[in-house]
Structure 1
Amino acid sequence: MAILSTPRAWLLPLTRRMIQQRLDQPRFDLDCDLGSTPDGDGTGGPVSVHFPPEWPGDPLAFFPAILARLRPGQEEVQPDTSFTLVTRDPQPGGQLTAIGQLGTTGTVSVWGDLEIGYGLNPAAWNQGYATEAVGVLVTHLHTLPRVRRVVAATALHNRASERVLEKTGFTRTGQRWSADDGDLTTWAHERI
């Protein structure tokens, strides 16, 4: 189980329990296991995480299909590539808060490309969380076998998302069209 860490948040693997709870109710609390966190800060074990109604944003539409693809007994969706972004700063009462969702949108292509997507709750926008999380995710994905480039796509003129990718070392590679999202700008981050 990969748990990734930024200065202000953890990226916890997306689990069956998270998806089921969110499909059943708009807000909920879950005990999530931090295990032995990679930054060695001594934190570990279970922590209480609050999942507000804004979580996970657009990915909610994909949750029923993700749940249907899980094998019996499979708890984590994609332990190394699909994450829930959780703040380190506890709220009153000691709970952490789920503020976003990020990860890969498929598998590694024959060319070694792996596409990511991400989204944060509106209350977490413009605070640098996305830049921290995408940076850590990209570094992690480049350690996986066969990944040559991490790629992404943003809606045209989505300046906030473009800035996240620019700050994390992505370069513009062109444009494409999607039936779901229309015209998109494409991006790539080469393995160094």
Structure 2
Amino acid sequence: MTSIFTARLVLLPLSCEMIEKRLAHEEFNLIADTPEGPLSVHFDSQWAGGLRDLFPHLLEQMRRQGLAAQAGIFCVALRETGQAVGDIGTKGQPSAAGEQEIGYGFNPAHWGQGYATEAVSALVQQLVAQPEIKVVTAQTAQSNRASERVLEKLAFTRTGQSWDEEDGDLTVWSKSKH
């Protein structure tokens, strides 16, 4: 899995090293190797808020499979400063019908700056370039208008509703390849 670059961001594959350091430290730095060369990335205490509870299980799974990085899950960092501002990725494998669900979360200090829209757009472009992916889906808490705006700007359409114990009522979104 390689990094994805946008105008302002780099999406770095989530590595064992990132997870290990997050589990051991509230704040840390690491050097990420990218096709553009090494990038010094700073992770503050807000990074990976939603994923943090999954890290022990994910790390164990990655080690068992001999993976250095988790396919489809990325740390989002600013290209200019190396500040980690969020995470984004796929949820599981594509369905037999070619549907791939995505999820994303960004540090509150970086909300409202267009980073989520930029990162989701880059991930969706990568996904729809894969022949087996026909539709990209996402779910947003109905109380999270900002997350809904990200998907609206990227031409996702509302396709239904769901419910989640943590977030309550959800809106289901999809974007077809064509």
What TM-score do you get using the length of structure 1 for normalisation? 0.88
Q: How many residues align?
A: 177
Q: In 1, Cα distance between the equivalents of 2:143 and 2:149?
A: 11
| 2:56 counterpart of 1:64 | yes
Q: In 1, Cα distance between the equivalents of 2:131 and 2:164?
A: 28
Other-structure match for 1:151: 137
Other-structure match for 1:38: none
Other-structure match for 2:20: 20
Residue 145 (structure 1) shift: 3.8
Task: Give the secondary structure class of the aligned counterpart of 2:87.
Answer: strand
Task: From 117, 121, 125, give the equivalent of 2:103.
Answer: 117
Deviates more, 1:147-156 or 1:56-65: 56-65
Q: In 1, Cα distance between the equivalents of 2:119 and 2:85?
A: 11
Q: Is there any run of 5+ residues in structure 1 with no aligned partner, and where?
A: 36-43, 91-95
Residue 23 (structure 1) shift: 0.6
| 2:64 counterpart of 1:85 | no
Other-structure match for 1:8: 8
- Which runs of at least 4 in structure 1 moved beyond 6 Å after TM superposition? none
Task: From 35, 47, 55, give the equivalent of 2:39.
Answer: 47
Task: Give the secondary structure class of the aligned counterpart of 1:84.
Answer: strand
Residue 106 (structure 1) shift: 1.0
Residue 157 (structure 1) shift: 2.7
Structure 1 vs Structure 2: percent identity of aligned residues?
47
Deviates more, 1:128-137 or 1:174-183: 174-183
Q: In 2, Cα distance between the equivalents of 1:104 and 1:59?
A: 12
Q: For residue 46 of structure 2, what is the amino acid of its counterpart? A: E
Q: Is there any run of 5+ residues in structure 2 with no aligned partner, and where?
A: none
Q: In 2, Cα distance between the equivalents of 1:65 and 1:144?
A: 28
Q: For residue 13 of structure 2, what is the amino acid of its counterpart? A: P
What TM-score do you get using the length of structure 2 for normalisation? 0.95
Other-structure match for 1:163: 149
Task: Give the secondary structure class of the aligned counterpart of 1:7.
Answer: coil
Other-structure match for 1:73: 66
Residue 178 (structure 1) shift: 2.1
RMSD: 1.2
Where do 1:117-136 residues align within 5 Å?
117-136=103-122
Task: Give the secondary structure class of the aligned counterpart of 1:107.
Answer: coil
